[in-house]
Amino acid sequence: MDLSTFSFPTTIIFGAGSVSRLPDELKKRKVSRPLLVTDAGIRRTPVFELVNQLVPGAVVFTKVDPNPIEQNVLDGAASYKQAGCDGIIALGGGSPLDAAKAIRLLATHEGPLAGYDDMLDGSSRIASNLPPYIAIATTSGTGSEVGRSAVITIKTTNRKTVIFSPYLIPSVALADPELTLDLPPHITAGTGMDAFTHNIEAYLAKGYHPMCDAIALAGAKLVWDNLPRVMEQPHDLEARSNMMMAAIMGAVAFQKGLGAVHSLAHPLSTECGMHHGTTNAILLPAVLEYNQSAVPERVAHLAALFDGSDAAERVRELNRKVSIQPRLRDWGVSETILPALADKAVQDGCHQFNPRPCTREDLLELYHRAY
């Protein structure tokens, strides 16, 4: 009999105003000189000023790309060591949060970063001697604030690489939905659909994990009910809180695994610069249709959860509600690049958990369906 491992260890302080706990959480962990990892966009916002005032002695690092790359991590680790930092704060969406996890790793571990690739058993080389890390999300999408993985594009392969270890889990997540109230609409939509996809793919993923299944279904329903609501009323704190919880639930649930959507989406970020959550939204209907024959009961359950009979069509309707253009061609992707994208997608480990096996030709056909 195959064994399953169930683990839900992240400490989460959830609710409006929770970011004010930051000084106390640093003090509790004896951090006096943190590296504050964010990006240039967040740096210009009132949210950054709020956090920076809470930790005036922090060393600020903003060199994080929208899809974090290896050089971001190397530069951040150098800043950490040169400034004599003793802990890390990450502020932002999935990119700063993932970059901060990898910076935390290199603060105490030797490179190269590619040596920690989860597909190459990199997790076995990650020890527990990592500095304290406090994660503060400003979007409701990746759920990286509670997860144990970082996704970084490695220079030599130009491939999104998953670095995974329970030791990468943040020391504490401060989940404050007030920080998301002024997100631009397109970021709200893209990150919201990222959370939606995480929950759906986790529910459909292979493997026995009824706890993750239950969390995934509840998380997907939260997005279904609340994403259109926050698009119409951005300062609806209850709906924003529900979206933040949905993102957290998605990241908890996908410890079970993800699926073909993510293997298809990752190359579109590295090769075409597309926003990850938006890309997930575009690809999800085609992958749901592809998976129908493998897990018909589960796909039907999703359709019923969304008050319909066709899960893929209900997702297309949600995309329309939140103003996400439905085809890859709408986002400037050239059809000629699809074969090269399929070459990279088949190398991505996420599709290994897809309920229906995927060959390179299957993945190419899915790109064409979404094109």
Q: What is the per-residue pLDDT across 32-76, written as a single tens digit (0 to 9) for each?
A: 999 999 999 999 999 999 999 999 999 999 999 988 999 999 999
**Token pair for 153:** 């594009």
Classify burial at 267, counting beta carbons within 10 Å of its beta carbon; exposed 0-12, middle 13-18, buried 19 or more.
buried
Q: What are the DSSP calls for 210-227, one per residue?
A: HHHHHHHHHHHHHHHHHH
Average pLDDT, the chain: 95
- What is the percent of the chain where pLDDT is above 70? 98
3-state secondary structure (DSSP) of residue 235: coil
Please give the pLDDT value at position 8: 75
- Specify the amino acid at residue 314: R
CA 129 to chain centre: 24
List beta partners, residue 89: 36, 134
Please give the pLDDT value at position 5: 66
pLDDT band at 2 (very low <50, low <70, confident <90, very high): low
- Distance CA(11)–CA(238), nearest Å, equals 22
- What is the percent of the chain where pLDDT is above 90? 92
CA-nearest of 200, 187, 112, 199 to 152 is 112
To 10 degrees, what angle do helices 260-272 and 360-370 make?
70
At residue 22, does pLDDT exceed 70?
Answer: yes
**Angle formed at CA 263 by CA 260 and CA 269, multiple of 5 degrees:** 135
pLDDT digits 0-9 by tens, 170-214: 999 999 999 999 999 999 999 999 999 999 999 999 999 999 999
CA-nearest of 189, 193, 96, 88 to 138 is 96
- Distance CA(210)–CA(221), nearest Å, equals 17
- Specify the amino acid at residue 30: K
Please give the pLDDT value at position 111: 85
pLDDT digits 0-9 by tens, 253-273: 999 999 999 999 999 999 999
Please give the pLDDT value at position 119: 86
- Distance CA(176)–CA(241), nearest Å, equals 8
At residue 4, does pLDDT exceed 90?
Answer: no
Q: Which domains does the chain have, with CATH numbers?
A: 12-179 (3.40.50.1970), 185-370 (1.20.1090.10)
CA 144 to chain centre: 5
Q: Locate tokens 């293997």: which residue?
A: 263
pLDDT digits 0-9 by tens, 117-167: 988 899 999 999 999 999 999 999 999 999 999 999 998 888 889 999 999
How many C-beta neighbours within 10 Å does residue 157 have? 14
Please give the pLDDT value at position 246: 98
- Distance CA(137)–CA(19), nearest Å, equals 10
At residue 3, does pLDDT exceed 70?
Answer: no
CA-nearest of 324, 69, 307 to 189 is 324
How many C-beta neighbours within 10 Å does residue 294 have? 14
